């Protein structure tokens, strides 16, 4: 299987993760005026699973290093399989809440609050699990990201007040809950892998490719419960149905699947990089997606259009602090 051999390459893979995780929500923005997020999310989950399977059957099954996907799956310990499945379930609930918040409040708000919180708590959890990297630089970077989140939330509240948007507090709370849940999923997946040795993984542990497939299966299975419930009891708006889903056009379904594949590619590269960079740095850099999403929201989707000079200053300061924080997280691994 393909294995990352150096720290610089691991950082490059994490940058790809950051771009993918920060950009997939654009596919939802494209269809949100004609397609409920609950319907979009089914296609999104399918896209993640298909990408995971494709990665396992190609990059995860070629070369002489490591175990090929099928062999790895057959020898995996049930406890590790369950751990990766739980990671998928936890991620799914968190991401459903985040996706709902993106639809209601926008990318420039939901991502910095939700994923920023996930970065802060997740880095701590993953560092305690495997302590790689300079802790001073790592957590100094996390501190700057924390300040950036506060500035973003402040800007959104001010902007929402100016344009008289409703349910401001509701969607800030939904984003916070999503972030707390999101911070825990990665550790379940990482603990199912042998992070110290991808070339000759311990018996019972899984390679990142296999763990990702199990994780993606957890997303699909839990979708039956989570999304089915929200289709009939939505967080906002009128109920929808599976009939509406099957009435969607091929193009609309394809956009959702593309969104899942984009996120899945980022996740695959992140898990591959974790062996060399360590889970805390790998996860922390990946969650730099917050910066990418905020830029999409502000520059492309004009989500703070009409804001005053104070809001503009808050947003610029937030972006600068995110960049500085991510720089420190990268430097912590050298």
Segment 157-202, tens digit of pLDDT: 788 766 555 567 788 889 899 999 988 988 899 899 988 888 888 9
Give the pTM: 0.84
- What CA–CA distance (Å, rounded) separates 250 from 263? 20
Q: How many domains does one find in the chain? A: 1
State mean pLDDT over 50-60: 97
Residue 170: exposure state from Cβ atoms within 10 A (0-12, 13-18, ≥19) = middle
- What CA–CA distance (Å, rounded) separates 261 from 48? 5
2: in domain:
no
- What CA–CA distance (Å, rounded) separates 17 from 312? 28
State mean pLDDT over 220-226: 95
Indicate whether 290 pLDDT > 80. Answer: no
Indicate whether 252 pLDDT > 80. Answer: yes
Residue 63 zone, left/alpha/beta (φ > 0; ψ -120 to 50; rest): left
How many CB atoms lie under 10 A from the CB of residue 208?
35
State mean pLDDT over 247-258: 96
Question: Residue 303's domain spans which residues?
Answer: 7-331
pLDDT of residue 148: 84
244: in domain:
yes
57: in domain:
yes
Nearest to 287 by CA among 115, 133, 152, 163: 115
267: in domain:
yes
Q: Which residue has better confidence, 52 or 148?
A: 52
In which band, very low, low, confident or very high, does the pLDDT at 208 lie, cut at 50, 70 and 90?
very high
Burial state string for 81-116 with b = 16 or more CB within 10 A and e = fewer than 16 = bebbbbbbbbbbbbbbbbbbbbbbbbbbbbbbbbbb
Which range of 111-125, 135-149, 247-261, 284-298 scores highest in mean pLDDT? It is: 247-261
312: in domain:
yes
pLDDT of residue 216: 98
1: in domain:
no
Indicate whether 291 pLDDT > 80. Answer: no
160: in domain:
yes
132: in domain:
yes
- What CA–CA distance (Å, rounded) separates 106 from 90? 22
User: Among residues of the chain, what percentage have pLDDT more than 90?
Assistant: 48
């Amino acid at each position: 299987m393909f294995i990352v051999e150096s720290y610089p390459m691991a950082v490059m893979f994490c940058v790809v993760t950051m771009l993918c995780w920060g950009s997939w929500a654009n596919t939802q923005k494209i269809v949100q005026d004609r397609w409920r997020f609950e319907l979009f999310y089914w296609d999104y989950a399918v896209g993640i699973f298909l990408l995971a399977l494709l990665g396992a059957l190609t990059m995860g099954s070629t070369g002489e290093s490591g175990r090929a996907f099928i062999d790895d799956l057959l020898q995996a310990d049930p406890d590790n399989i369950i751990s990766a499945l739980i990671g998928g379930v936890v991620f799914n609930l968190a991401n459903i809440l985040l996706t709902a918040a993106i639809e209601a409040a926008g990318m420039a708000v939901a991502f910095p609050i939700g994923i920023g919180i996930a970065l802060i708590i997740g880095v701590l959890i993953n560092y305690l699990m495997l302590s790689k990297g300079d802790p001073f630089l790592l957590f100094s970077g996390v501190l700057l990201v924390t300040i950036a989140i506060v500035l973003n939330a402040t800007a959104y509240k001010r902007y929402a007040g100016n344009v008289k948007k409703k349910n401001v507090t509701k969607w800030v709370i939904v984003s916070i809950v999503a972030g707390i849940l999101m911070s825990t999923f990665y550790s379940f997946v990482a603990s199912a892998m042998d992070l110290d040795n991808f070339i000759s993984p311990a018996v019972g542990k899984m390679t990142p490719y296999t763990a990702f497939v199990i994780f993606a299966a957890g997303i699909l299975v839990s979708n039956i419960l989570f999304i089915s419930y929200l289709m009939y009891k939505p967080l906002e708006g009128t109920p929808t149905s599976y009939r509406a889903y099957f009435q969607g056009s091929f193009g609309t379904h394809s956009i959702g699947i593309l969104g899942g594949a984009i996120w899945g590619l980022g996740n695959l590269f992140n898990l591959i990089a974790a062996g060399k960079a360590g889970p805390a740095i790998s996860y922390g850099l990946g969650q730099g997606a917050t910066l990418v999403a905020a830029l999409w929201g502000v520059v492309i989707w004009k989500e703070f259009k009409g804001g005053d000079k104070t809001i503009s200053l808050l947003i610029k300061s937030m972006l600068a602090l995110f960049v500085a924080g991510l720089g420190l997280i990268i430097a912590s691994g050298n």
